[in-house]
């Protein structure tokens, strides 16, 4: 099983997880909650599964919410993120196996041992301990929440695209 430190994933910093969780109190429960768009009114294309809407993901830099999520936006700024969103994954759910055009920054907010990445055929678990991870999602990957349906456990990550170079 691959862990942080492989060529696929690197820990690059830490955040205050309690403050991020406090910001979550202001947003509705939904699979993806966009934080940046191409314009103030662009709240849907950043989370669309239709990639025709995202030919140039680097254009998703406009802050969508001025009056809340101050701590979240400070992290977006600190790490130079674009097309950032909160993503949740309910029990017994996974994403399709795919590649992204750029690496992603992942900050696990709620997770457990039954939640994991499969990246380039390697199993990777990221704890919700305030760590900030650079993940090379240009390799084939998916994410799995294998918690039983009865647990109703939702995995939540703050995810943003990055082209920034980090020293490892």
Tell me: pLDDT of 111 over 80.
yes
155-161 and 82-89 beta bridge pairing: antiparallel
Residues 147, 111 contacting (CB under 8 angstroms): no
**Cβ within 8 Å of residue 92, ≥6 positions away:** 145, 146, 147, 148, 149
Tell me: pLDDT of 135 over 70.
yes
Tell me which fold the domain 9-161 belongs to: Jelly Rolls (2.60.120)
Per-residue pLDDT at 154: 94
CA-CA distance, 143 to 146, in Å (whole number)?
A: 10
Torsion of CA 38, 57, 111, 118, to 10 degrees: 160
Tell me: pLDDT of 2 over 60.
no
Per-residue DSSP letter, 24: H
Per-residue DSSP letter, 128: S
Q: What mean pLDDT do residues 137-147 have?
A: 95
Tell me: the pLDDT tens digits for 54-75?
A: 568 889 999 998 788 999 999 9
The rounded mean pLDDT for the chain is 89
Tell me: the pLDDT tens digits for 16-32?
A: 999 999 999 888 888 88
CA-CA distance, 55 to 41, in Å (whole number)?
A: 18
CA distances in angstroms from 149 to 70, 137, 158, listed in the order given: 33, 27, 23
Residues 13, 132 contacting (CB under 8 angstroms): yes
């Amino acid at each position: 099983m691959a862990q942080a430190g492989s060529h696929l994933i690197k820990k690059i910093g830490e955040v205050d997880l309690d403050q991020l969780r406090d910001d979550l109190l202001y947003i509705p429960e939904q699979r993806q909650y966009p934080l940046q768009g191409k314009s103030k009114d662009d709240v849907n294309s950043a989370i669309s599964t239709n990639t025709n809407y995202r030919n140039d993901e680097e254009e998703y830099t406009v802050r969508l919410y001025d009056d809340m999520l101050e701590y979240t936006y400070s992290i977006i700024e600190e790490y130079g993120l674009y097309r950032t969103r909160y993503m949740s994954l309910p029990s017994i759910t996974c994403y399709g196996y795919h590649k992204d055009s750029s690496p992603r920054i992942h900050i696990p907010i709620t997770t457990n041992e039954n939640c994991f990445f499969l990246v380039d055929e390697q199993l990777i678990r990221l704890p919700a301990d305030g760590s900030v991870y650079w993940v090379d999602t240009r390799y084939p990957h998916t994410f799995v929440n294998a918690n039983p349906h009865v647990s109703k456990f939702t995995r939540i990550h703050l995810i943003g695209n990055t082209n920034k170079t980090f020293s490892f």
